[in-house]
Amino acid sequence: MACVRQINSTCFAHFRPDFSLLRNASLITPTTERDLYNGYLSKAFPMRTAARGIVLLSSLLTIQFGLAQAAPKETGRIVTKTRLVAMFSELETRWLQAVQQKDETTLGRLVSEDFQVWTPQPPGAPIPREDWQKQALAHQLVSFRLRQMAVRSLSNQISVASFVLSDLIEQGGKPQSRDHFVVDVWKKDGENWQCTDRYVWPLSGNARRVRAGVDLRPSGKE
């Protein structure tokens, strides 16, 4: 047992952590063993370095805030949106005027050959252009009004216009007012825009009889 104690004492006497590698490491500043036990990080990264980091971070935040203040406001988007609304409002108005005047030539320029109309009525199949045109020209469009026009540009060649269409037609000698929510998909073909698809939803209270002489012409206020 005495021999075992002597061997253990000898082993622990020679067991001592070797910090020479840490002292010689290129990324760690010279330090003592006591420093390692009593907070080496505070020695390796002095307060001066931390202060410089804080100053640098403050400078970056100041520059970023200045750039944000100098950035243009959202007015550009508003101008673009207004321009699109004006342009497609004019196209939709020309379309309705062509129906009103039964001008098939103008209709041919505004709607594509594969134009289709989609409605919630069964059977759910789209109405082809030829059938839609026959229906549109079968009655007399007396007046119309476009409201709540909105346009979303999906690309330079495709835009989607949505609006509420209120119109007054004469069918069988009787006036009838209608209100629909319409979504038109427009595609640019060269320099001209053509509608490829129309989605139509009748609004509540639709197809109500009205007195003759009700004026639904565009007022310019909506």
Residue 144 belongs to a domain with what CATH number? 3.10.450.50
Report the pLDDT averaged over residues 49-58.
51
Cβ–Cβ < 8 Å for 99, 137: yes
Has residue 58 been placed in a domain? yes
Has residue 205 been placed in a domain? yes
Which of 19, 49, 70 is the C-terminal boundary of a domain?
Answer: 70
Number of domains present in the structure of the chain: 2
Q: pLDDT by residue (tens digit) across 4-53? A: 444 444 444 454 555 454 444 444 444 444 454 454 444 444 555 545 55
Has residue 200 been placed in a domain? yes
Statement to judge: residues 117 and 17 lie in one domain: no
Percent of the chain with pLDDT over 70: 55
pLDDT of residue 151: 97
Has residue 6 been placed in a domain? yes
Distance (Å, whole) CA 162 – CA 195: 12
Residue 151 pairs with which residues in a beta bridge?
161
Statement to judge: residues 90 and 109 lie in one domain: yes
Has residue 218 been placed in a domain? no
Which of 28, 44, 70 is the C-terminal boundary of a domain?
Answer: 70
Has residue 219 been placed in a domain? no
pTM attached to this predicted model:
0.58
Q: Give me 158's structure tokens.
A: 């495709």
Domain span at residue 11 reads 2-70
Cβ–Cβ < 8 Å for 170, 139: yes
Other Cβ atoms closer than 10 A to 74: 7
Has residue 118 been placed in a domain? yes
Cβ–Cβ < 8 Å for 127, 116: yes
Statement to judge: residues 115 and 43 lie in one domain: no
Has residue 217 been placed in a domain? no
pLDDT of residue 48: 52
Report the pLDDT averaged over residues 48-70.
50
Distance (Å, whole) CA 169 – CA 143: 7
Q: Are strands 111-118 and 192-202 parallel, antiparallel or unpaired?
A: parallel
Which of 28, 46, 70 is the C-terminal boundary of a domain?
Answer: 70
121 pLDDT band, cuts 50/70/90, is confident
Residue 170 pairs with which residues in a beta bridge?
140, 175
Statement to judge: residues 99 and 199 lie in one domain: yes
145 φ, ψ to 5°?
Answer: -150, 135
Statement to judge: residues 66 and 94 lie in one domain: no
